[in-house]
Amino acid sequence: MIIVLRPDSTTEQVDHIVEHIHRLGLKTDVSRGIKRTIIGVIGDEDLVRNAPLRAIPGVEEVVPILKPFKLASREYQAEDSSFDVGFGVKVGGGHLGMIAGPCAIEGREILREIAQSVRASGANILRGGAYKPRTSPYSFQGLGEDGLKLLREVGDELSMPVCTEVMDPRQVELVDQYTDIIQIGARNMQNFNLLSEVGQTKRPVLLKRGMSATVIDLLMSAEYILAGGNKRVILCERGVRSFDNSTRNLLDLSLVPNVKGLSHLPVVVDPSHATGRPALIPPMALAAVAAGADGVHIEVHSCPEKAMSDGPQALLPGQYQQVMDQMRKVAGLFGRQINEPRAPR
């Protein structure tokens, strides 16, 4: 539920209400706006359903939230979330996060080459995997901490925020030292221990939809992160499993307006993992922007045939340049913008 406070409520009254809720065995999330302060009550609402909260000084209204995802809901926050993910780059609220880079970090020079090309094309977030969740245990598993160091080095050199995946709660502390955005992959969307752990970092989180997850499943996973105190969560549609094998997955673009009607969180789309086919990535990327996505996540590699992971679904730098030019035009039609990172050092 949400406790809406009176405009003239005092700090002492707010503190008293928070302490009262805590004594009832629930958590609180205080959001102070320009004109209003609201307190989100987190936990089993049955514990406070009959409590006379409206009688507490400073309380104007108590609003129940019927959806199971409390903090992610539009009832809790009506306006779209928008936040800085590093180097002045914003995501949400009309600002598009254009995420690009190789699937896996393979070495300093190849990473720098790809990063320079995607940045020149307009990408404002660099991605690269240091830990790779692979179907086969014999496939390339990533460079680990060495890869994280390379990603951080290149990101700082180009003044680009960087995004990389974490696979295990034991990796969170290490990954948090190097990245600007922590990615939770599709296979870990319902790894609740991992979600709770990244919720403690306060680092922006890119949460990918699981391969068989419903929209509500995705929002409930986001709730774990939000409940941990981390308010900077970005949802990502990357396709779900289907009976059709002509594409890698089935891209569900209806998720974008669907989630935006339910939640204030930004939503980006990953047409690379969804389609698995370079020819389909540009039209699906354009469709994602037109559908209202807050960004597009595309894999780019300068030599896909030599890539150590997911080369067949990567665009060449020249192809990425073309689709970025087109996406910029589509975004402009809807009054949205792609803000550039700060100038490189």
Token pair in block for residue 216:
């509500």
3-state secondary structure of 244: coil
Tokens of 177: 């030292």
Which has the closest alpha carbon to 203: 227, 177, 170? 177
Domains of the chain with bracketed CATH: 2-63 (3.30.70.1140), 83-333 (3.20.20.70)
Instruction: Please give the DSSP secondary-structure letter assigned to residue 82.
Output: -
pTM for the predicted model, two decimal places: 0.90
Alpha helices in 59-107 (DSSP H): none
Q: Give the pLDDT of residue 135.
A: 65
DSSP class of residue 29? E
pLDDT at 47: 76
With 0-12 / 13-18 / 19 or more C-beta atoms within 10 angstroms meaning exposed / middle / buried, residue 343 is: exposed
Q: Dihedrals φ, ψ of 250, to 5°? A: -105, 115
Would you say how long the chain is, in residues?
A: 345
CA distance 269 to 282: 12
Cα dihedral across residues 317, 318, 320, 324: positive or negative = positive
Alpha-carbon distances, residue 140 vs 10, 103, 196 (angstroms): 57, 11, 28
| Burial of residue 152, with CB atoms counted within 10 A of its CB: 0-12 exposed, 13-18 middle, 19 or more buried | middle
Residue type, 271: P
Please give the chain's pLDDT, 345 residues, in tens. 889 999 999 999 999 999 999 998 888 888 887 778 899 888 877 777 778 888 999 999 988 887 889 999 998 899 999 999 999 999 999 999 999 999 999 999 999 999 999 999 999 999 999 987 666 665 666 789 999 999 999 999 999 999 999 999 999 999 999 999 999 999 999 999 999 999 999 899 999 999 999 999 999 999 999 999 999 999 999 999 999 999 999 999 999 999 999 999 999 999 999 999 999 999 999 999 999 999 999 999 998 888 777 788 999 999 999 999 999 999 999 999 888 777 776
Phi, psi of 185 (to 5 degrees): -75, 170
User: With the CA atoms of 197, 202, 206 and 207 taken in that order, what torsion angle do they form, in degrees rounded to the nearest 10?
Assistant: 40
Q: Is 58 helix (H, G, I), strand (E, B) or coil?
A: coil
pLDDT of residue 344: 77
Distance, C-alpha 234 to centroid of its chain: 2
The phi, psi pair for 300, rounded to 5°, reads -130, 135
Q: In this structure, are residues 329 and 146 in contact, taking their beta carbons and an 8 Å threshold?
A: no
DSSP character at residue 160: -
Tokens of 121: 């094309």
Using a 10 angstrom Cβ sphere, with 0-12 exposed, 13-18 middle and 19 or more buried, the burial of residue 35 is: exposed
Helix, coil or strand: residue 214: coil
Backbone angles phi, psi at 307, to 5 degrees: -65, 145
> Is the CB of residue 102 less than 8 Å from the CB of residue 110?
yes
Residue type, 257: P
Check residue 343 and give its pLDDT.
78
